[in-house]
Structure 1
Amino acid sequence: MGSEKVRLIKSDSDHQKAMRQLLNDMRAMELMLEEGMFDTGPTRIGAEQELSIVGEDWEPAPFAMEILADIGDPKFTTEFARFNLEINLDPLLFTGDAFSKLERQLWRLLTKGENAARKYKAQLLLTGILPTLSHPHLSLDYMTPLKRYEFLIEALRKERGGNFEFRIEGVDQWISRMGHSFIESCNTSFQVHYQVAPQDFADKYNWAQLIIAPLMAATCNSPLLMGKRLWRETRIALFEQSTDLRNPELAYREAEPRVTFGKDWVRYSAMDLFRNNAFHHRILLAPIDEENSLKTLEQGKIPKLRALTTHNGTIYRWNRPCYGITDGKPHLRIENRNMPAGPTVLDEIANAAFWLGMMHGMPDNYRRLYEKLDFKLARRNFFHAANDGLTTHFYWPGTPGKVPAQQLILEELLPIARQGLEIANIDRADIDRLLSVIEERVKSGQTGAQWMIDAFERLQKQGTKEEALTALTAAISKRQQVGEPVHTWQLPDIIEAGDWEKRFFTVEQFMKTNLYTATPDDPVELVVRMMYYNNIRHVPVEKRDGTLQGIISARTLVRFYNNFSEKERKKMAAKDIMETNLVTVTPQTKTADAICLLRKHDIGCLPVVFNGKLVGIVTERDFVHIAAELLRQPECNSDEENAEVERGLE
């Protein structure tokens, strides 16, 4: 995730100095473009694999730094969170067996990472958003302990000037507020690079902007966040909102967010985008190693343009322009950032082949797109595809009305991709094998996102939501190791979560989160009716901001009716009878410890509190359910073991 050799912009003078460096770099790039210094071929491709680390309980496991130290391979590097890693794959000439080489190298490196992770009872997982991620994992305690990430968090928080607000709506709704942008660490992707000759950049970039929507419809794999069914590619909404630095008080201003699809077509060159970066986005980080890029050019050398690339690295276009140097020659690339990690290595390589084939096979009639389609419609296509996946209908140049995603992909884009791969002289067997994966996925409608939604809904009928998320994560891992593409996957059963210890290891995995609560001033009669009509025995009492104040149990109500007259009862509120000497747990409390607390304090429930707020509740009924699960385990059916379970619940 970028270079560690950066500094935080702390003052106006810092910003002025950094801006002068950036302007020098921009002028140097302009001169190099004018002088024809950029590489025009042969075409190279590349990829970056982001991934998650999970423990035996299928929860995020923060062992990135330890695994990296054990691997000792520079191709592995850090990501924002300690439960993520990134693999940088070798650049390849876009010809022959390039995709077979890419696939073999990725498998080899993943195996290397898996071997290192086993030491920590962990494994690697490819998925756009890990299903078992929860709010405790978004604490800055999980952030990778490197200055670059600290600087970025601080800069984004300072620029925002307040909390980050999140609101994503799908089948469910997820609303949250956080004081930092670390939540972007939920996202993992498979980023693919395509080298472009300068004279073709504008048309190729615009083409990339047009095809990104149907590409996403076919490759979506991130439909869940915190157990909520949101967009088919929720990463898009989450990343945009997690780095949105725009001031809500300036609503009349049409400011551009740092994560962006863009505001218009490119008319002339890559400089359109780099200038836009400088003109619309404040510099957050600057390189420590200063470079006079114009002087470097005068000396006949190629400048690294560190100021330009550092600033570009803090602006997250879904199609990002990139500058680099290979074998002493500068080049331009387009980095596709919208494809998610997973579901399998084969799916990812097929996705890459589909995109790269389309890029290389762009028909001439798609040049000068700014004359053929309103950019707002391309933008609309992008967000509708992120939301709806393969059920999207697209606005498309030369097509009246809208065209269904499946029809567009199967009848027009796959043939273009095939032609592009043939132009690049990619091996015929790889073309057939990889594009058939896309074709069958689109025909069946079973993208990674669709499989996850169907699997999650099936699993929720067999257990709690948290059990379903655990089983879903386990099922993804199992199928990923087999390696068959996602359109062939069968739906899982709850047993795939493993034994009861993995499914119920922490309170978070089975606590109730759809709560009936009262406020301190609510009449007791409301609490009575809540318990009666919902068949519950405990009602937490909380302030309107979610701060836990007390709890009312069925025992409390028995005393209430025994000790007060009807006239007295009518005047009393929840605060008058609630129990305030509370025993609470956190979502990460071990189940065994929670059982001990119930026994020690002779209580029937434990409110679950996170960051001072009520987030759930576990009751003795929940533990009876766990005991029943345990007793069904074949390895736990001895009299001695059964007696131990019963003692734990007495």
Structure 2
Amino acid sequence: RLHNGTVYRWNRPCYGVADGKAHLRIENRVLPAGPTVVDEVANAAFFYGLMAAVTDAYGDITRALDFDDAKANFVAAARQGLQAQFHWTGGRTVTASELILKELLPIARQGLLQRNLDADDVDRYLGVIEGRVASERTGARWALDSMARMPNRVTKDERMRALVTATLAQQATSQPVHTWPLADFAEQQDWRHSYERVGQFMTDDVYTVRPDDLVDLAANLMDWVHVRHIPVEDDDGRLVGMVTHRRLLRLLSDREGAADEPVAVRDIMDTDPVTVTPDTPTVEAIALMRAPDVKCLPVCDQGQLVGIITERDIFDLATRLLERELREFRKPT
């Protein structure tokens, strides 16, 4: 699949024509892969140094390494990072760490020095790569280890917010990521600002139906995913209605002997549901849901459905905040 659209992968296949010859290349986007400027420059130094000297080291790589092995190596690196193993030249099997430290870094250093780059700069930036590999601490591994370290009673949303907070703080130090201490969840941190707006805690993985779908599909979805509200979208992703369990119950009581007749979603949906946007203040959303007939709020951005909040979401939010307040209240003074 060559069409990438607006999905910016670190490594992506690109079709091009050079000197009248069509080709498929792997475009390596080393600079955005941070998470700090020094890490980005180190990535670039490693990559461009390799490109400058790899031919001298291996000759024609298409003869030294089978394409199937190169493909398998590419997938292994993407999936496993520094824990990957590669089928390399000469029929060898090597770990990613061994390959980088013993072969690729010396090649990259040679390539940069041959291009007359300052030796101190070369040592500095390739030293970042060496330290990252020796410690087995990439940016991705730092994030995963940090998340795993946080207590289980903390919600995923709170862990993610703690991770972002720690990332911003560590980026300000300009130190490479392999030297960062793991992020931690700070009990004393004021998390109220994390729930100020609907978009910060809404459910964005929403099951929907179309107006022409049968009501049976909506009813089964409610049963399968344990929800009581199903948004109705048109083919362009715009919200056009809501199906609720109450409307389904009303339909069952009104149909009497016509239970076998198919009914479309459009025949029972609420065509004018109350909606909010991701920027709606949480207190405003709570006020809307105090109305007797408003048990959920679809979240729309310029008419497009982007999420939903229900009574359950408000209950879970209130529970987390109340538990935190009570724990703080019980602490000895």
Change (3 A) 1:400 1:349: same
Distance 1:496 1:347, change over 3 A: farther
Amino acid at match of 2:119: I
Written as runs of structure 1 = structure 2, the 5 A alignment for 1:536-547 is 536-543=227-234, 546-547=237-238
Using a 3 Å threshold, how does the CA distance of structure 1 residues 368 and 533 change in structure 2: closer, same or farther? closer
Structure 2: 5+ residue stretches without partners: none
Q: Distance in 2 between matches of 1:420 and 1:496?
A: 49
Report the secondary structure of 1:340's partner residue.
helix
- Structure 1 position 426 matched with structure 2 position 109: no
Deviation at 1:550, TM superposition (A): 1.8
Q: How far does the alpha carbon of each residue in 1:113-161 deviate from its partner, in whole angstroms, 9 at most, with x for none?
A: xxxxxxxxxxxxxxxxxxxxxxxxxxxxxxxxxxxxxxxxxxxxxxxxx
Shift of 1:540: 1.9
Contact 2:46 2:108 in 1 (8 A): yes
Matched, 1:413 2:104: yes
Match of 1:581 in 2: 272
2:32 — aligned with what? 340
Kindly provide the amino acid, as one letter, of the partner of residue 239 in structure 2: L
Specify which of 231, 247, 252 is matched with residue 556 of structure 1: 247
The 1-side partners of 2:323 and 2:59 are apart by: 66
* Aligned counterparts, 1:351-366, within 5 A: 351-355=43-47, 358=50, 362=53, 365-366=56-57
1:449 and 2:177 aligned: no
Alignment match, 1:328 = none
CA distance in 2, matches of 1:558, 1:594: 26
Aligned residues: 321
CA distance in 2, matches of 1:425, 1:576: 73
- Confirm whether residue 567 of structure 1 aligns to residue 250 of structure 2: no
**Structure 2 Cα separation of the partners of residues 380 and 440 of structure 1:** 27
Q: Which residue of 2 aligns with 1:56?
A: none
- Inter-partner Cα distance in structure 2 for 1:612 and 1:386: 40
The equivalent of 1:623 in structure 2 is 314
Which of 70, 78, 82 does residue 390 from structure 1 map onto?
82
What secondary structure does 1:580 align onto? coil
| In 1: Cα distance, 2:188 partner to 2:217 partner | 39
Who is 2:10 aligned against?
235
Q: 1:528 to 1:381 in 2, by over 3 A?
A: closer
Using the TM superposition, give the Cα deviation of residue 519 of structure 1 relative to its aligned residue in structure 2, in angstroms.
3.5
CA shift in 2, pair 1:495/1:503, >3 Å: farther
SS of 2:10's partner is helix
Whole-angstrom distance in 1 between the partners of 2:190 and 2:286: 18
Q: Which residue of 2 aligns with 1:476?
A: 167
Amino acid at match of 1:426: A
Q: With CA pairs under 8 Å and 6+ residues apart, which has the higher RCO, 1 or 2?
A: 1
Partner of 1:506: 197
CA deviation map 1:89-115 (0-9, x unaligned):
xxxxxxxxxxxxxxxxxxxxxxxxxxx
User: Could you tell me which amino acid in structure 2 is paired with residue 513 of structure 1?
Assistant: D
**What secondary structure, in the 3-state scheme, does the structure 1 residue paired with 2:130 have?**
helix
Q: In structure 1, how many angstroms separate the alpha carbons of the residues matched to 2:22 and 2:54?
A: 32
**Are the aligned partners of 1:464 and 1:510 in contact in 2 as well (CA < 8 Å)?**
no
Residue 222 of structure 2 corresponds to residue 531 of structure 1: yes
Counterpart AA for 1:580: T
Residue 603 of structure 1 corresponds to 294
- How far residue 515 of structure 1 moved from its aligned partner, in angstroms, is 2.6
Deviation at 1:532, TM superposition (A): 4.2
Q: CA separation in 2, counterparts of 1:542 and 1:371?
A: 50
How far apart are the structure 2 equivalents of 1:417 and 1:594?
A: 56
Aligned mates of 1:472, 1:394 — CA distance in 2: 31
From 178, 186, 189, the counterpart of 1:487: 178
User: Relative to structure 1, is the Cα distance of residues 346 and 618 closer, same or farther in structure 2, using a 3 angstrom cutoff?
Assistant: same
Against the structure 1 CA distance between its residues 524 and 611, is the aligned structure 2 distance closer, same or farther, given a 3 Å change threshold?
A: same
SS of residue paired to 1:482: coil
CA spacing shift, 1:558–1:488, aligned 2, 3 Å:
same
Q: Work out the CA distance in 1 between the residues paired with 2:175 and 2:45.
A: 17
> Which letter does structure 2 place at the counterpart of 1:607?
P
Shift of 1:495: 5.0
Q: Distance in 2 between matches of 1:581 and 1:364?
A: 65
- 1:61-100 mapped onto 2 (5 Å cutoff): none
What is the CA–CA distance in structure 2 between the aligned matches of 1:497 and 1:470, rounded to whole Å?
Answer: 14
Quickly say closer, same or farther: Cα 1:497–1:453, change in 2 above 3 A. Answer: farther
Once the 2 structures are TM-superposed, how far is the Cα of residue 364 of structure 1 from its aligned partner?
A: 8.1
Query: Scaled by the length of structure 1, what TM-score is found?
Result: 0.41
CA distance in 1, matches of 2:118, 2:297: 64
For residues 438 and 374 of structure 1, do their structure 2 counterparts lie closer, same or farther at Cα, with a shift above 3 Å needed?
closer
Q: Say if 1:317 and 1:401 are closer, same or farther in 2 by CA, change over 3 A.
A: closer
Letter aligned with residue 236 of structure 1: N
Q: Structure 1's 370 and 387: CA in aligned 2 closer, same or farther, altered over 3 A?
A: closer
Shift of 1:607: 1.2
CA separation in 1, counterparts of 2:202 and 2:305? Answer: 12
Alpha-carbon displacement from aligned partner over 1:365-402 (angstroms, at most 9, x marks no partner): 43753674469579748853762333444465x52255
Percentage of identical aligned residues: 40
Letter in 2 for 1:564: D
